[in-house]
Structure 1
């Protein structure tokens, strides 16, 4: 039988069979030369018959030598294979620990006060941005992993509690396409008033851009508006969306999918 080569991104984790072979080889190396198959079975959670089948395969692979009933020894080839798989596992665990878990557990906030590494901070959501201030008086806290001065970014981890804030809303002004009157058919003064009542202004479609320019509004969001408007509202910001009728549905569909409240406002002349 040809020897298996367990290469690939996850090495020994690539398949259940490979992982079991690895565990059995480790158990044999710890117990050799007297190997009790039932003890190995109990240790790794399979049947004694399965251990016997794996042992026969490992002997055929050249990874284990059998020296009589119940006496086994891992060969040099078996040790080399264990080392190679262990090295792969070590690299994978390092990747998970440093790149995956580290990214998940560490967030970034803006410091509202002077903060020192290791200090407990309180968390709030302001203007759609997570803010951290020294002390544990808030309903949500974390631990700073970097130093920070007011207005700078700070790394935080070990979160407890919930950051409480109200979701934003979206006011939608539907603008007819140019062949149906375009931006000129919309009450510019009403749009200006709506802009003053909202945190952000987003435009979708040429007619919307024309309306913003006519009314002197400076759009905060011009590209990727379906996702950006939904995200802004989810972070607690109120958004005025000026959207041409042919762009309207993809925005409202996105808002409904994410359970974001919106209202289509009549701003016709």
Structure 2
């Protein structure tokens, strides 16, 4: 009970309807001052114009608002200070909800491979780099569905238990010299095409790498943000062929090491 009482005091603007209404009216006055239409405020926050008038009288008596004639009001320094204090409390409450409440009920998304009903236990697998869920608890990793889903549709899951069983992917890197050093013409496209057939995805980094892919009649899966995307794909179990210009090679391999992704640089450039 003491904890609830502390919460009520800390988040008073939420626990007290009167404080919540005062807060909204002060915000409306601050936005509209000095010309304040009471009916507009009433419509904005969903109370009567008479109620707004009563609250305004109270706010004037509390020195939160100054009245400068008919329909002219201004929030005082004391009123601004009170607004700030209440806003800080609201912010703390939002952080509490986001971090302590919602954060404990993390919802992820998977693709349903069978019909799934809300509340049902599902087994999780990784296929084609996508998390998938099927009804039942036979897998190495399970979760609880929080939405209904038909096969092929997205399903919300929570309370994941166990580890999804799949092998991490690898990255094979083909370094392409800059144009002044031979560029795409120095790369045997048949070798690149053969390597692409052995991988799930093809990624390119820089224009000279795009030229290699075009010459090899390949349509790259990843063309932008490759330094991050390649590692993300490998972490989801996909094998990636990365064709990269030599001037950006180190930035890509550095990122792969940061992501603990296994990679191999293949030298296929013709002299």
TM-score class normalised by the smaller sequence: 0.5 to 0.7
Residues 110-139 of structure 1, C-alpha deviations (whole Å, 9 max, x = no match): 001100000000000111110000000001
The TM-score, its normalising length taken from structure 2, stands at 0.65
- In structure 1, the residue matched to 2:206 is 205
Report the secondary structure of 2:111's partner residue.
strand
Distance across 1 between alignment mates of 2:142 and 2:215 = 46
Distance across 2 between alignment mates of 1:176 and 1:94 = 52
Structure 1 pair 91/210, CA: closer, same or farther in 2 (3 Å)?
closer
- In structure 2, the residue matched to 1:4 is none
- In structure 1, the residue matched to 2:219 is 218
1:229 aligns with 2:239: no
What's the CA shift for 1:93? Answer: 3.5
Distance across 1 between alignment mates of 2:107 and 2:181 = 51
The TM-score, its normalising length taken from structure 1, stands at 0.65
- In structure 1, the residue matched to 2:243 is 242
What's the CA shift for 1:240? Answer: 0.2
What's the CA shift for 1:97? Answer: 5.6
Count of paired positions: 190
Distance across 1 between alignment mates of 2:95 and 2:180 = 59
Among 91, 103, 112, the alignment partner of 1:101 is 103
What's the CA shift for 1:256? Answer: 1.2
What's the CA shift for 1:247? Answer: 1.1
CA RMSD of aligned residues (A): 2.6
Residues 218-264 of structure 1, C-alpha deviations (whole Å, 9 max, x = no match): 00000000000011111110000000100101000111112111011
Task: Map 1:1-269 to 2 at 5 A.
Answer: 88=90, 90-96=93-99, 100-101=102-103, 105-269=106-270
Structure 1 pair 93/256, CA: closer, same or farther in 2 (3 Å)?
closer
Distance across 1 between alignment mates of 2:247 and 2:195 = 22
Distance across 1 between alignment mates of 2:201 and 2:229 = 11
Distance across 2 between alignment mates of 1:86 and 1:253 = 42
Report the secondary structure of 2:110's partner residue.
strand
Report the secondary structure of 2:234's partner residue.
helix
Structure 1 unmatched runs, 5+: 1-18, 24-79
Structure 1 pair 181/154, CA: closer, same or farther in 2 (3 Å)?
same
Distance across 1 between alignment mates of 2:241 and 2:99 = 41
Residues 178-223 of structure 1, C-alpha deviations (whole Å, 9 max, x = no match): 1111111111111000000000000001110001001100000000
Distance across 2 between alignment mates of 1:217 and 1:137 = 39
- In structure 2, the residue matched to 1:48 is none
Distance across 2 between alignment mates of 1:149 and 1:155 = 12
Structure 2 unmatched runs, 5+: 1-5, 11-81
Structure 1 pair 138/223, CA: closer, same or farther in 2 (3 Å)?
same
Residues 2-46 of structure 1, C-alpha deviations (whole Å, 9 max, x = no match): xxxxxxxxxxxxxxxxx9xx79xxxxxxxxxxxxxxxxxxxxxxx
Structure 1 pair 183/112, CA: closer, same or farther in 2 (3 Å)?
same
